């Protein structure tokens, strides 16, 4: 953890020693009473935490905060629901790369059972988003949805956004050559790719098909590569 994040409701309460953050403070950072560490409020300011006391059951912490964070960059990501382990990687790495919204959609060639994974039903997905933000030294979490249809999510894309769909089969140009507006939406198919009907729907929704080159990449690798290209071209820090 480069930054230890807390929900607003946790700030006034002791941190149980069973919490992974307590284990990190004591076992990894080796903090003692009076020592400080980098802390943040989820979707709020960053600042410094102080380890006030180490009890048998909990740690007592105090905090000082800086200014609120800037708004997230206008970057929306759509992904056909992948297998749970791939989704975990995307949740973590896309958050670390600063997406503003992340939507996992049902797709024609996707496995229907992926939507029933405990990753989603138990709320585990949020843990991976928080880990990505902590890695990036950021407090902001993206909006995350899962299990909706592609059409439902396409209807919510900001109208001013450049709309690009990654596709290995019918894309006429590389992502690196696409003209970009200040806001960008990137769409990735499931592991078997987009269906013909989904390509038609994407084109009807003003998406341009683009590619990352001739190499066939894993979904999580393609997402990271495309986000890196867009962030570099947009000059987003």
Flag whether pLDDT at 237 surpasses 80: no
Q: What is the spatial distance between Cα 42 and Cα 4, in angstroms, rounded to a whole number? A: 10
Flag whether pLDDT at 146 surpasses 80: yes
Tell whether 61 is covered by a domain.
yes
Q: What kind and span of H or E run contains 106? A: strand 101-106
Q: Tell me: the pLDDT tens digits for 54-67?
A: 999 999 999 999 99
Q: What kind and span of H or E run contains 86? A: helix 84-96
Tell whether 70 is covered by a domain.
no
Q: How many domains does the chain have?
A: 2
Q: Tell me: the pLDDT tens digits for 149-197?
A: 999 999 999 999 999 999 989 999 999 999 999 999 999 999 899 999 9
Q: What is the spatial distance between Cα 135 and Cα 123, in angstroms, rounded to a whole number? A: 20
C-alpha torsion angle, residues 36, 38, 42, 45 (rounded to 10): 90
Q: Tell me: the pLDDT tens digits for 185-200?
A: 999 999 899 999 999 9
Kindly state whether residues 110 and 189 are assigned to the same domain: yes
Residue written as token pair 């098909």: 209
Contact 82, 90 (CB under 8 A): yes
Strands 143-149 and 162-166: unpaired
CATH number for 120: 3.40.1280.10
Tell whether 214 is covered by a domain.
yes
Kindly state whether residues 181 and 136 are assigned to the same domain: yes
Give residues with Cβ within 8 angstroms of 4, minimum separation 6: 21, 24, 25, 37, 38, 39, 40, 49, 134
Residue written as token pair 């000082």: 64
Which residue range forms the structural domain that includes residue 155? 75-234
pTM of the model: 0.94
């Amino acid at each position: 953890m480069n930054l230890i994040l807390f929900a607003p409701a946790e700030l006034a309460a002791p941190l149980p020693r069973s919490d992974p953050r307590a284990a990190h403070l004591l076992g990894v950072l080796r903090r003692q009473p009076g020592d400080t560490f980098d802390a943040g409020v989820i979707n709020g300011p960053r600042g410094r935490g102080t380890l006030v006391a180490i009890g048998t059951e909990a740690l007592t912490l105090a905090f000082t905060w800086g200014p609120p964070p800037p708004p997230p960059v206008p970057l929306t990501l759509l992904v056909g629901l992948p297998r749970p382990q791939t989704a975990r990687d995307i949740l973590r790495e896309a958050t670390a790369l600063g997406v503003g919204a992340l939507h996992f959609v049902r797709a024609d060639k996707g496995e229907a059972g992926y939507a029933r994974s405990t990753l989603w039903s138990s709320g585990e997905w949020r843990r991976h988003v928080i880990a990505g933000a902590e890695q990036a030294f950021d407090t902001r979490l993206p909006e995350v949805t899962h299990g909706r249809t592609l059409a439902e999510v396409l209807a919510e894309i900001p109208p001013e956004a450049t709309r690009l769909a990654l596709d290995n089969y019918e894309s006429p140009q590389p992502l690196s050559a696409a003209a970009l507006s200040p806001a960008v939406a990137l769409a990735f198919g499931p592991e078997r790719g987009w269906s013909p009907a989904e390509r038609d729907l994407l084109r009807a929704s003003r998406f341009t098909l683009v590619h990352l080159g001739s190499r066939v990449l894993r979904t999580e690798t393609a997402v990271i590569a495309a986000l890196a290209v867009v962030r570099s071209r947009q000059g987003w820090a």
